[in-house]
Structure 1
Amino acid sequence: MTETIRIARFVARPVIVPMNLPLQTSTGAVARAPLVLIDCETDQGVRGHAYLFSITPAALRPLTAMVGEMAEMIAGDELLPFEIERKLSQRFTLLGLAGLQRLAQSGIDMVAWDALARARGLPLARLLGGAPKPVRAYNSKGLGIMPAGAAVDEAQKLLAEGFHAAKIRVGRPDAREDLNVVRAVRKAVGDQVTLMCDYNQALTVAEAISRGEMLDDEGLLWIEEPIRHDDYAGCARVADALRTPVQIGENFDSAFSMLSALSAEACDFVMPDVQRIGGVTGWLRAASLAHAAGIEMSTHLFSEVSAHLLCVTPTAHWLEYVDWADAVLATRLTIKDGFALPSEEPGNGIQWDEAAVARYLVS
């Protein structure tokens, strides 16, 4: 008989860590990563780990506080992620399950799954019924808005880290500059390298169609978030007009949002974000929808956890790799010959470098 495991306590710590490559997108620059580091300790002394990305430092303290409030509600409960998700969803239904509430709940979910995997002595992928295996990965930590020459140099550096794919940020004021950068990078890296581009919601529907048609012959795997993320009707118009597949999904705030997008035929590919979709539990629900729809599903950020999740995703496509938490991690996700290699060690692969955590802790 399996021994009952209970939650002893949670600890949430805010840190702001430097990024190796500051990223300039069409909507602004990101130079530091504000993270909430979450630990879940069980009554057996096992500790699980996960982190959240608050995007802006202004949201770091309230997000940390929200994690703490949710943690108090489930302290002493049995470590059963589906039951934890049900309880927290019920408690926050009237307030709304979006925004900081969704992120905090996803963080609680991720750390609960990690603690359970460690308590069972299994890597997360095996706890979920699969096995760690190589997953295709592209390097997404750079190639922001920059001149063509700088983009070529940065693309070659990103690929030299063991990748055969990278993503270019687009959305410059002049569409011809975007086209020039894409062509310059393609010429430099060759046709064997996979390239994607991301507009970060910068365009109107008409602009997205016009600019997308300019890029249709450039051999891109996908065009990501060309317009406002929740305009599914507009996304459907863009996807229908372009030959290059349209990718959306990092802003789905639940499997229900993803279902709405799929019903509207808003995209060709989906890429949920594990901290917005509802953590591991929400990801599993989204993966079932993608499977039923026959649509390829990639990840957004959170490379360590996401690599395990792709191992149990029926329509697994690409892992988006970033190293934004590396400054506080004692272990790193291994990249080899274009693939991420999730570990067979128990849990999701996250372990803190406590000296680094102390250095970047927000008091």
Structure 2
Amino acid sequence: MNHPRLTFKSVRARSISVPMNRPLGTSSATMDKAPFLLLDLYTDEGVVGHAHIFCYRDFAAPLIRKAVEVAGELLVGAPLQPEIIKNICGSYFMLLGNQGIVGMAISGLDVACWDALAKASGLPLSQYLGSDIQSLSAYNSNGLSISSNLADKIAIAEEAQALLEQGFKALKIRLGREDHAEDVKAVKAVREVISSGTALMSDYNQALSLSEALERGLDLQQEGLYWIEEPLPYQDLEGNAQVVKTLQVPIQNGENYSSPDFLSLAMKMKSMDYIMIDLMRIGGVSGWMQAAELAKEADLLLSSHLYPEVSAHLLAASTTSHWLEYIDWAEIFIAEPVSISDGIVKISASVGTGVAWQEDVVTHYELD
């Protein structure tokens, strides 16, 4: 692919922590704030690329920022090309490993690089990647969290209705309470208030043992779940493959895969029915497109994890695109949030990813 000629000048990284409209409660943690690292990649030619990294915990943001700043010093004066960023950073960080904190830093730089290149070409990122798709199906992943080991059927039903009223035809519910019966109660509460045509995804966030996954999964099959996401630890490829083989409801996996190579191995072991990719874990735009090619070769449907503002562009450029996960955590500081109506998200027509900051909000929530 021939890219515009740009030269890396510098990168600025800022840590912020913003309130969530709806706290996120999973089988492993509860969060009411969303920490992000915001990247501004400057070029000698005046084009600026942006990226935002969800850091999960406040303490992680400065760690990722340090890795970004170290990488930025290495890249000064280099041609702004994704492969050059990957090679320079990959070589320097090799002894640490290009996963986790380091991997997210490199992914963020990759996203900012692609944003700048698409801007320099005068195109939205999706079109720069060769797509002419204008819209995608999206599901609302903002609520239906685990707030207690006891499922409050009335509160759950009311929240499901409120989430659909935001313009969706599909929802995700978090599961993994200590008592499986409470999970079933929660699923039934949602099912009672949504139409038969509304897709209901579920997510265990890696909470179960193999025996639990099989027992609970078999019991939940009659509840009409669209998929069961991450029932086991993601690295247990053999166990996940057994769950896939045993259950009729599709198994969704992939958001924690940190490279296309790991995804390829998981696919060979048949550890999922559907693939879900996290932009900042898989290797940014570059890693995503490699993963999309693997999904195409295997004819597996590909969905996104977080980052709807950027992921929409990448799903549009993926042959086997499936669902966009919608979360609103970044909307408070992003100038152009995604537009959703009747369950459909419109791909931004702005050049690049369309991501830019509301600077007054960033200043207000900046951590340091």
**Paired residue secondary structure (1:68):** helix
Is 2:34 the partner of 1:33? Answer: yes
Structure 2 match to 1:173: 178
Structural mapping, 1:284-323, within 5 Å: 284-323=289-328
Structural mapping, 1:219-258, within 5 Å: 219-258=224-263
Q: 1:2 Cα shift?
A: 7.9
In the alignment, the residues of structure 1 paired with residue 130 and residue 86 of structure 2 have an alpha-carbon distance, to the nearest angstrom, of 19
Q: 1:89 Cα shift?
A: 1.6
Structure 1: 4+ residue segments shifted above 3 A: none
- Given that residues 132 and 344 in structure 1 are in contact (C-alpha distance below 8 angstroms), is that contact kept between their aligned partners in structure 2? no
Structure 2 match to 1:43: 44
Number of aligned residues: 363
Q: 1:4 Cα shift?
A: 2.3
Is 2:326 the partner of 1:325? Answer: no
Residues 27-58 of structure 1, C-alpha deviations (whole Å, 9 max, x = no match): 01011011000011121212111100110112
Gaps of 5+ in 1: none
In the alignment, the residues of structure 2 paired with residue 336 and residue 350 of structure 1 have an alpha-carbon distance, to the nearest angstrom, of 20
Q: 1:12 Cα shift?
A: 0.4
- Given that residues 224 and 246 in structure 1 are in contact (C-alpha distance below 8 angstroms), is that contact kept between their aligned partners in structure 2? yes
- Given that residues 37 and 50 in structure 1 are in contact (C-alpha distance below 8 angstroms), is that contact kept between their aligned partners in structure 2? yes
Q: 1:289 is matched by which residue type in structure 2? A: L
- Given that residues 132 and 343 in structure 1 are in contact (C-alpha distance below 8 angstroms), is that contact kept between their aligned partners in structure 2? no
In the alignment, the residues of structure 2 paired with residue 342 and residue 279 of structure 1 have an alpha-carbon distance, to the nearest angstrom, of 18
**Aligned-residue RMSD, C-alpha:** 1.2
Is 2:327 the partner of 1:343? Answer: no
Q: 2:269 is matched by which residue type in structure 1? A: A
Q: 1:200 aligns with which of 198, 201, 205?
A: 205
Structure 1 match to 2:366: 361
**Paired residue secondary structure (2:172):** strand
Structural mapping, 1:88-127, within 5 Å: 88-127=89-128
Residues 52-90 of structure 1, C-alpha deviations (whole Å, 9 max, x = no match): 011011211111111111111112211111221222222
- Given that residues 15 and 61 in structure 2 are in contact (C-alpha distance below 8 angstroms), is that contact kept between their aligned partners in structure 1? yes
Q: 1:27 is matched by which residue type in structure 2? A: S
Residues 124-176 of structure 1, C-alpha deviations (whole Å, 9 max, x = no match): 00111113411110010111014222111111111111110010001111111
Q: TM-score, normalised by structure 1?
A: 0.98
- Given that residues 222 and 245 in structure 1 are in contact (C-alpha distance below 8 angstroms), is that contact kept between their aligned partners in structure 2? yes
In the alignment, the residues of structure 2 paired with residue 241 and residue 56 of structure 1 have an alpha-carbon distance, to the nearest angstrom, of 35
Gaps of 5+ in 2: none
Change (3 A) 1:88 1:150: same
Residues 211-233 of structure 1, C-alpha deviations (whole Å, 9 max, x = no match): 00111011111000001111000
In the alignment, the residues of structure 1 paired with residue 96 and residue 168 of structure 2 have an alpha-carbon distance, to the nearest angstrom, of 43
**Paired residue secondary structure (1:256):** helix
Structure 2 match to 1:142: 143
Is 2:161 the partner of 1:156? Answer: yes
Q: 1:107 Cα shift?
A: 0.3
Q: 2:338 is matched by which residue type in structure 1? A: L
In the alignment, the residues of structure 2 paired with residue 143 and residue 277 of structure 1 have an alpha-carbon distance, to the nearest angstrom, of 26
Q: TM-score, normalised by structure 2?
A: 0.96
Q: 2:110 is matched by which residue type in structure 1? A: D
Matched-pair identity in % = 43
Change (3 A) 1:70 1:2: closer
**Paired residue secondary structure (1:340):** strand
Structural mapping, 1:46-61, within 5 Å: 46-61=47-62
- Given that residues 13 and 36 in structure 1 are in contact (C-alpha distance below 8 angstroms), is that contact kept between their aligned partners in structure 2? yes
- Given that residues 132 and 341 in structure 1 are in contact (C-alpha distance below 8 angstroms), is that contact kept between their aligned partners in structure 2? no
- Given that residues 333 and 349 in structure 1 are in contact (C-alpha distance below 8 angstroms), is that contact kept between their aligned partners in structure 2? no
**Paired residue secondary structure (2:106):** helix
Q: 1:344 Cα shift?
A: 1.3
Structure 2 match to 1:5: 6
In the alignment, the residues of structure 2 paired with residue 3 and residue 315 of structure 1 have an alpha-carbon distance, to the nearest angstrom, of 28
